[in-house]
Amino acid sequence: MSTLIERLARLDSCAVSDAKDSLGLSAAVSGLGRKSGQGVLAGRVKTVQLAAGKPPADAPKVHLGARAIVAADAETVIVVAHPGIDAGGWGGVLSTGAQIAGVRGVVVDGPIRDADEAAGLGFAIFSRTTTARTARGRVYEVSTGAPVSIGGEAVADGDYVIADGSGVVFIRAADIEPVLAAAEKIAAREAAMVAALRQGRPITEVMGANYETMLEVKS
């Protein structure tokens, strides 16, 4: 039997976003684009919260993101809530460390740096933008594993995420089963529509009633 992550990885962000729409759930987070890696990134969230400024004097002397890598497992996608200033919320040494630890990829709601280095590793990163500016003295880590907000979406440790060339979608752990079931039905409908087009049916017929009722997922 396929695991939930395996099922999620066989889908795409659009089908999952549509499934969440059909269930009355908030859908995709816009503006988080692929900076490195290929294909579909799917896994379970390990959160990191960053803040602008210098760390408090009594803060642990640990590089941002390092604790998330140590806490990760083979299902982990690290998700970083960034304060939005022009300073990298993820970098090349972190990408190498994360890949060695088996992390599937990273999503950063802000800028990252060393994008070419991550691309050379084949390590998946999605972010708002890129920068060459260091986080040193500009950004520090507040927490690992606490709830965060990504693009206005509440995201918790252990939630699910799918990211690809179209966008990033988070799924609450409590919602994963119904979202997967709905997304699989939507994907199957789209595949049937494509097959019909290849068999010569007119696109006006194929994308008529079927397309307009795509989100009406029935049991």
Span 142-158, pLDDT tens digits: 999 999 999 999 999 99
**Range of lowest pLDDT (8-22, 47-61, 135-149, 172-186):** 47-61
Instruction: Tell me if 8 is assigned to some domain.
Output: yes
Instruction: Tell me if 50 is assigned to some domain.
Output: yes
The vertex-48 CA angle with 37 and 97, nearest 5°, equals 50
User: Do 149 and 114 lie in a common domain?
Assistant: yes
pLDDT at 211: 61
Instruction: Tell me if 217 is assigned to some domain.
Output: no
- Residue pair 63/80 in contact (Cβ under 8 Å)? The answer is no
User: Do 98 and 150 lie in a common domain?
Assistant: yes
Across residues 1-25, what is the average pLDDT?
Answer: 93
- Provide, rounded to the nearest whole percent, the portion of the chain with pLDDT above 90: 84
Residue 6's nearest CA partner among 197, 123, 152, 160 is 160
* Reduced 3-state DSSP string for 56-101: CCCCCCCCCCHHHHHHCCCCEEEEEECCCCCCCCCCHHHHHHHHHC
Task: Report strand pairing: 124-130 vs 105-112.
Answer: parallel
User: Do 57 and 145 lie in a common domain?
Assistant: yes
Instruction: Tell me if 122 is assigned to some domain.
Output: yes
Expressed as residue numbers, the domain containing 126 is: 4-173
Domain count, the chain: 2
- Residue pair 133/152 in contact (Cβ under 8 Å)? The answer is no
User: Do 51 and 79 lie in a common domain?
Assistant: yes
> In a 3-state reduction of DSSP, which class is residue 28?
coil
Predicted TM-score (pTM) of the model is 0.93
Over the chain, what is the mean pLDDT?
A: 93
Span 100-127, pLDDT tens digits: 999 999 999 999 999 999 999 999 999 9
User: Do 119 and 64 lie in a common domain?
Assistant: yes
Q: At what angle do helices 176-198 and 13-22 cross, to 10 degrees?
A: 120
Helix, strand, coil tally for the chain in percent (to 5): 35, 25, 40
User: Do 40 and 142 lie in a common domain?
Assistant: yes
Instruction: Tell me if 218 is assigned to some domain.
Output: no
User: Do 145 and 203 lie in a common domain?
Assistant: no
Residue 195's nearest CA partner among 205, 206, 181 is 206
User: Do 83 and 168 lie in a common domain?
Assistant: yes
**Partner residues linked to 100 by β-bridges:** none
